[in-house]
Amino acid sequence: MEYVDFGFRNAECERSNVEKKRTFEPGDMIKALTGQAGIVIAPEAFDDIRARYREGRKPGYFFAAGCCHKPDYIGQIPVLFEDGAWDVMRAMNIKRAPDLPDEKKARILKLSTPGE
C-alpha cells in the first residue's frame, strides 16, 4: 500500500484553522452562569492580568487536576470579571453579552487596561 501525503500536517494550516474555530474572541463581553459580566482576555494581556488580579474560581471555571491553564479560546476561555477576579472558564458556562450597560462595560475595560 502506498502512503499518500495530503499536506494536512502543515503547521501554518493548523494554526489558521485554530484561529478560525475560536468560540470567543479577545475583547468579547460575556456573562457567566452566575450573571456576572466580564471580558475575554487577549493572549498578550493574560500574564499581566494574572499577575495583577486574583483567580476567582467561579462556578464553571476550567479545572483539571495536575493541568495548567492553556487558553485556546475554544474550550478554555480566559475572562476578567467585573469584581477584579480572572478565571479560565469553560466555553459552555459563559455566553456573549453584547448588550451590557455602558457603565459596566467601562468599569470592566478600565480593569483590563494595564496600569489601572
Tell how far CA 13 is from the center of its chain: 22
Please give the C-alpha separations between residue 21 and each of 18, 57, 73, 74, 97, in angstroms, as whole numbers.
Answer: 5, 26, 8, 7, 19
Q: Which pLDDT tens digit goes with each residue over 91-105?
A: 999 999 989 999 999
Indicate the pTM of the whole model. Answer: 0.77
Q: Which pLDDT tens digit goes with each residue over 30-88?
A: 999 899 999 999 999 999 999 999 999 898 888 766 666 778 899 899 999 999 999 99
> Which residues neighbour 7 within 8 Å (Cβ) at sequence distance 6 or greater?
13
Q: 13 near 79, Cβ under 8 Å?
A: no
Please give the C-alpha separations between residue 110 and each of 1, 9, 25, 38, 83, in angstroms, as whole numbers.
Answer: 61, 41, 18, 12, 12
Topology adopted by domain 11-112 = SH3 type barrels. (2.30.30)
